[in-house]
Amino acid sequence: MDFEIANNSHFLFCYHLAKELFASLPDGRFFLQTQVSGDIVRATARFASDRDDLTVSQSASIKREFGLSRAENLAVGKAAWELFTNLSDRRPPYGVLVGVRPTKVALYYLEHGLSDPELIDRLTHDYFVRKEKALLLLKLAKTEKRIVENLASSDAVLYLSIPFCPSRCKYCSFISQSAPKQLARLDEYLSRMREELQKTAELFFGIGKTLKAVYLGGGTPGVLTEAQLDALFCELEADFNLSPDTEITAELGRPDTVTAEKLRVLSDHGIRRVCINPQTLSDEVLRENGRSHTAKQFYDAYSLARKTGRFCINADLIAGLSGDTPQGFLKSLTEILALDPENLTIHSLCKKRASEDESAFLAASEGIWTGAVSDAMHACINRGYEPYYLYRQKNTIENLENLGYAKPGQECVYNIAMMEDLCDVFSVGAGAITKLISKKGPHQKIRRFASYKYPTEYLSDPGKREKRFMEIKRLYMENPDDPVVL
Ligand code: SF4
């Protein structure tokens, strides 16, 4: 499909919506134009091919409280949806909300005073979100609103990136380093990270930030030895004023990397949140997906964590893994729920790196995971969990979401703040992004500073990092209240 769009700012939206609605984009040309007349904005979409020639128009009124761009987006969304759904049988669960963070739209209307029924009506009729997902977005927006109210404008979070893994899972779409040669550079990498931590702390306090939460993520941070974990957290404590209230999460990741000693190091550093991620409890599915651990190793790691410290434990599962079935996925979930972890995250398989075998499997299973993910949500809610953060990725199985659940009061603030762009995120290490967030709402401005993707580049060129520090400092010096000027 070729796109001919008068206002280029709608291109990505139309392209991604088309990708969600068509298994493969049809041959032909898609045209879109918008027109404003008085307080009405009209969008006209047309698709022309050898077989079809279809045109639809949709309009939206420009309300003072919502502004022109929201009205234009609404009209474009409605026109593109109507046109595409005339040509496709697919109805993605989040309708025209093709972005990573659909909760933002719900939060926006909640903050603009829409009642719960009005919000559901808006999401289902104007954004074509399925009712069950609209109710979920409303619930999440309310949780988020509560967290936002507790965040000060100076609050920021810190991400420590360990993009290394002991081996590579077949479905992985993450840039992680698993070759023994790369792992051999882990010490060097950590020493560079410690330097970067010191400099980040100087910048952080220099621009008046307060540390709200820290997340050690990967890859598989469990590849760090206990001595390496200890050195990293000693550095963090020396550089940042950690208070007992600073939330710290250590994602250990693969259960086969978890040991009692590592858990003890974390506990001794006052860390109260760990993630141990089996993804499935079927040994067969684990093998098929190249995850080199067993279900028993997950149980052992989980029980060690329970014995070693007062940890809030998160476990990750994936819906749609190659070789799994909805029944098998729900069985894994039942077994995890029986352990009663404080947090649980259910991901939907991201198809972008699917091998040919996996693609064939995914095509054959089209449509079967939506019900399983919905059953999983009800099972979690029945066990006393609440969904608390959500994000979507492109090309997930059946366009489903990744959803985090928590027992009441056990939510991970880092996850919400980072996923929903509620405050600045400072990142240390390769493959991570520092984000400055200036304003909430429809015109929120975000500036991203990417580090090098790979540890080798990160180690060979500290210059990029230095430039990033200087640029952030300059932005804050020029305009401390709104450093993000785009
Ligand atoms: S553990 Fe995670 S990051 Fe590492 S290879 Fe497997 S899926 Fe990728």
- The DSSP symbol for 143 reads H
Give distance in angstroms: CA of 229 to centre of ligand 1.
19
Residue nearest (by alpha carbon) to ligand 1 atom 2: 219
> Which residue type, as a one-letter code, is found at position 188?
E
Q: How far apart are CA 326 and CA 56, in angstroms?
A: 38
Residue nearest (by alpha carbon) to ligand 1 atom 7: 172
In ligand 1, the atom with minimum distance to the C-alpha of 279 is: 7
In ligand 1, the atom with minimum distance to the C-alpha of 291 is: 6
Chain region(s) in the chain for CATH 3.30.160.100: 1-90
Residue nearest (by alpha carbon) to ligand 1 atom 6: 169
CB 219, CB 165: distance < 8 Å: yes
Number of residues in the chain: 486
Residue 174 near ligand 1, beta carbon < 6 Å? yes
The domain 151-428 is classified under which CATH number: 3.80.30.20, 2.160.10.10, 1.20.1260.10, 3.40.50.300? 3.80.30.20
Nearest residue to 412 (alpha-carbon basis) of 268, 273, 253: 273
Nearest residue to 176 (alpha-carbon basis) of 427, 455, 459, 393: 455
Unique residue bearing structure tokens 């927006």: 141
Residue 451 near ligand 1, beta carbon < 6 Å? no
Using most ligand atoms within 8 A of CB, pick from 174, 288, 351 the residue to mutate for ligand 1.
174
Q: Is 253 helix (H, G, I), strand (E, B) or coil?
A: strand
The domain 1-90 is classified under which CATH number: 3.30.160.100, 3.30.360.10, 3.40.50.1980, 1.20.140.90? 3.30.160.100
Position 176 scores a pLDDT of: 58
Position 453 scores a pLDDT of: 85
DSSP for 183-226? HTTHHHHHHHHHHHHHHHHHHHHHTT-EEEEEEEEES-GGGS-H
Position 442 scores a pLDDT of: 55
On the CB side of 119, CA atoms within 13 Å amount to 25
Chain region(s) in the chain for CATH 3.80.30.20: 151-428
Position 111 scores a pLDDT of: 87
Residue nearest (by alpha carbon) to ligand 1 atom 5: 168
pTM of the model: 0.90
CB 390, CB 142: distance < 8 Å: no
Position 354 scores a pLDDT of: 45
Strands, sheet with 40-48, edge to edge from the N-terminal-most edge strand = 2-5, 29-37, 40-48, 53-61
Using most ligand atoms within 8 A of CB, pick from 164, 168, 173 the residue to mutate for ligand 1.
168
Give distance in angstroms: CA of 473 to centre of ligand 1.
34
Position 362 scores a pLDDT of: 52
pLDDT per residue rounded down to tens, the chain (486 residues): 899 887 778 999 999 999 999 988 999 999 999 999 999 999 999 999 998 899 999 999 988 667 888 899 999 999 999 999 999 999 999 999 999 999 989 998 998 899 999 999 999 999 999 999 999 999 999 998 888 888 888 999 999 999 999 888 998 877 655 666 778 889 999 999 999 999 999 999 999 999 999 999 999 999 999 999 999 999 999 999 899 899 999 999 999 999 999 999 999 999 999 999 999 999 999 999 999 899 999 999 999 999 997 899 999 999 999 999 999 999 999 999 999 999 999 999 987 544 444 555 555 556 789 999 999 999 999 999 999 999 998 888 888 999 999 999 999 999 999 988 889 999 999 988 999 987 655 567 888 988 888 888 899 887 777 888 888 888 888 877 777 765
Residue nearest (by alpha carbon) to ligand 1 atom 3: 219
Residue 262 near ligand 1, beta carbon < 6 Å? no
Give distance in angstroms: CA of 255 to centre of ligand 1.
12
Position 443 scores a pLDDT of: 64
CB 417, CB 151: distance < 8 Å: yes
481, two tokens: 């209240």
> Which residue type, as a one-letter code, is found at position 338?
A
Residue 172 near ligand 1, beta carbon < 6 Å? yes
Position 186 scores a pLDDT of: 93
Give distance in angstroms: CA of 232 to centre of ligand 1.
21
> Which residue type, as a one-letter code, is found at position 324?
D
Nearest residue to 317 (alpha-carbon basis) of 402, 224, 230, 435: 402
CB 387, CB 377: distance < 8 Å: yes
